[in-house]
Amino acid sequence: MSATVTAGVRIPTALLRPYRAAHIARRPHRLTAVRAASDGALEVCVKASTTVPDRLGDCPFTQRVLLTLEEKHLPYDMKLVDLSNKPDWFLKISPEGKVPLLKLEEKWVADSDVITQALEEKYPEPPLTTPPEKASVGSKIFSTFIGFLKSKDPSDGTEQALLSELTSFNDYLKDNGPFINGDKISAADLSLAPKLYHMEIALGHYKNWSVPESLSYLKNYMKTIFSMESFVKTRALHEDVIAGWRPKVMA
């Protein structure tokens, strides 16, 4: 069996896995925390990296769920799924063959909207609910980003459409920020931030494009969330994000 050395103690990898997923940054050398986490850890199916073995991959919906678990301080155990060769056990529990999936009360729950809502109901503390009137702020950014990414014609208006959505969001943050619901991060931010992360990496790579400096509230928003401990811990590798969008760019 392979093993990892943490603080001079040799810990079997099998014991360490749930601990790694939920607690390594906070409590790196408490074996008791390993056991506590593995007992109560929530099981979550996530996309596996396509570039590095045994690593979390590049699904923004999965990151949204992981961020929710992190912000609610819930221990979890990630099951990495190779989406290019889905294992039978996964197809049995996932009717659509999609990640994320989270096991709650012995049932596998699909879809990040449903999962985050269920987590909020079962684990209300700390509350992450975004008020309904603010819940759709920024929600057109992802689709306009994909439109621009896929575009082959620089004058087809897709870049302008994205800029228009980003500008509206920047103006919203200026008046209501720093987060969508004001001073505290909430569910809408945890959904949007992974998508902005994909946008930044994919458009930087495929179009040599970046968010204009003039959108300073948006720039700060991205910088703040992308540097949060929970985000750093659950983010995808740049190479995976680039590889993940390649088929869309080439289509």
Residues with active-site annotation: 59
Question: Which residue's CB is nearer to ligand GSH, number 10 or number 92?
Answer: 92
As beta bridge partners, residue 103 has 108
Structure letter (DSSP) for residue 126: S
- Residue 191 CB, nearest approach to ligand GSH (Å): 9
Q: Does 113 bind ligand GSH (CB under 6 A)?
A: yes
Cα–Cα separations (whole angstroms), residue 220 to 119, 132, 155, 173, 174 = 28, 24, 29, 10, 11
Stretch that binds ligand GSH, among 9-17, 92-100, 118-126, 227-235 (CB under 6 A): 92-100
Q: Does 233 bind ligand GSH (CB under 6 A)?
A: no
Question: Which residue's CB is nearer to ligand GSH, number 34 or number 187?
Answer: 187
User: What pairing do the DSSP bridges indicate for beta strands 101-104 and 42-47?
Assistant: antiparallel
Question: Which residue's CB is nearer to ligand GSH, number 32 or number 85?
Answer: 85
- Residue 172 CB, nearest approach to ligand GSH (Å): 23
- Residue 50 CB, nearest approach to ligand GSH (Å): 11
Closest CA to 242 of 45, 47, 21, 58: 58
Q: Does 83 bind ligand GSH (CB under 6 A)?
A: yes
Q: Does 47 bind ligand GSH (CB under 6 A)?
A: yes
Contact present, 99 and 81 (Cβ < 8 Å): yes
How many amino acids of this chain bind ligand GSH (CB under 6 A)?
A: 11
Contact present, 117 and 104 (Cβ < 8 Å): no
Contact present, 236 and 66 (Cβ < 8 Å): no
